[in-house]
Amino acid sequence: MGEAEARIPRVAGFAGPPARGQASPKEAGRALRERVPRRSHALLDIDAGRPGAVAAVEESSLGRIPELAPIRVGRMAATPFAFLRGSAGLMAYDLARTPTTRIGAQICGDAHAANFGLYGDARGRLVIDLNDFDETAHGPWEWDLKRLAASLVLAAREAGAGEDICRAAARDAVGAYRRTMRLLARLPVLDAWNAIADEELVSHTDAHDLLGTLERVSQKARANTSGRFAARSTEPTGDGGRRFVAAPPVLSRVPDAEAAAVVASLAGYLASLPEDRHPLLARHAVHDVAFRVVGTGSVGTRSYVVLLLDHRGEALILQVKEARPSALVPHLLTAGFEVPEVAHEGRRVVSGQKRMQVVSDILLGWTTVDGRPFQVRQFRNRKGSVDPHALSADQLDDYARMTGALLARAHSHSADPRLLSGYCGKNEELDEAMAAFAVAYADRTEADHADLVTAVKSGRVAAERGV
């Protein structure tokens, strides 16, 4: 027994003194290459039991509001990239049959290229990070990175880029992930935790060609507030308040009993927040509730907007969004990962988001409405995003490197960057392998999308376009 082990007891939640002769995390990561060679991540083996695209869409619609299903199908049928956005569960089925290192991390579960964006921090400054966590879970870090890489290939194809550029975007995202993890592994832990501040992100990822686009998105995001949405989507009431104006099918009025249930759930939401947030919300009064259709993968889930006004009539809008079980769960079990029992799906989403982001919405919480779990967050909190389809070839590479670096930073909060860096290594073997996977999976997604479009045209599946 070493001197430190003799004098310093182990404390729950802390690593304790290193055992004599124990391999370092970096060495352990390198050793994993023997069991799971980095080149093996190029493999995509579609098994005979894989559900078809239409069956997967229909299965994922179970438990959603039936009359909204055509909107979801219409959005997914728009493009192959849109199909990928709405089929996280189907991709998880495929990923569960690919090699994994068994290094677990808090993963987004849906880390495609359009799920990164800008939002406001507590002081109104813009930050950029992952911004959708409906599918978050503890799982293989590789799944997030492969989903990001495949989505970049699809986005590049839809932008009209050549195949060499599409593949390069995927490769550059993985390379940025690998290099960022190496940087984080070398830093003191406290420095690594908040490393790569947003103002350093462009330089770190050499994304200078993206500067103009980021500035335009930032300007738009600064104006994307609750107040602006309320000005467009509400009207005065006779008692001096305001109420939402229906704009079906996206924004609709709800029955009084349903609105009352949402308002009553705010007490449970308050209990999920730190007490220092309570005075902020106590200075607002609830004025109205409406139903609002959201997202691509989220269409058909229950989602409400709640209008609150302060003493000056300034609006704060909360989104109360149904939290369904992560679509990854059955596939994580197939891959051999333990899935702990979830007491509240809204809390799962919120906890996962806080574990991955450097800065999170200060009003992020959860509640229950009529027995269903919901997450609660600010609506239109200066949100903005880059449209990956609209980027030029040089900007695509920049965006790929930026998102790869952000994903590495997010994973490093729950997985030891020394372990991941030891596995990923210094050369480009992992980059090339995952780029090959991304191209193959983009081809698979295009075929799935074509199957869905055929089903829509034949009338087998109802779809509502342009909503």
Cβ proximity of 52 and 454 under 8 Å: no
Which candidate, 297, 413, 418, 301, places its Cα nearest to that of 351? 413
Q: What is the mean pLDDT of residues 44-60?
A: 93
In angstroms, the CA 268 to CA 94 distance is 38
pLDDT value of residue 22: 78
Contacts of 328 (CB under 8 A, 6+ apart): 88, 89, 92, 107, 109, 135, 137, 139, 143
The whole-angstrom separation of Cα 110 and Cα 324 is 14
Per residue in 199-231, pLDDT tens? 788 888 999 999 999 999 999 999 999 999 999
Tokens of 337: 């990962």
**What is the pLDDT confidence band of residue 465, given thresholds at 50, 70 and 90?**
confident
* Helix extents (H) in 102-187: 141-158, 163-186
Nearest to 224 by CA among 354, 375, 391, 385: 385
Q: pLDDT category, 2, cuts 50, 70, 90?
A: low
| Mean pLDDT confidence for 278-294 | 96
pLDDT of residue 466: 72
Please give the Cα distance from 80 to 71 (Å, whole number): 16
For residue 249, whether the previous peptide bond is cis, meaning omega lies within 30 degrees of 0, is: yes
Task: Give the number of C-alpha atoms closer than 13 A to the C-alpha of residue 46, restricted to the C-beta side.
Answer: 14
pTM of the predicted protein model: 0.95
d(CA 203, CA 205): 5
pLDDT band at 125 (very low <50, low <70, confident <90, very high): confident
pLDDT, tens digit (0-9, with 9 covering 90-100), for 368-379: 999 999 999 999
Measured torsion, CA atoms of residues 170, 172, 174, 175, in degrees rounded to the nearest 10: 160
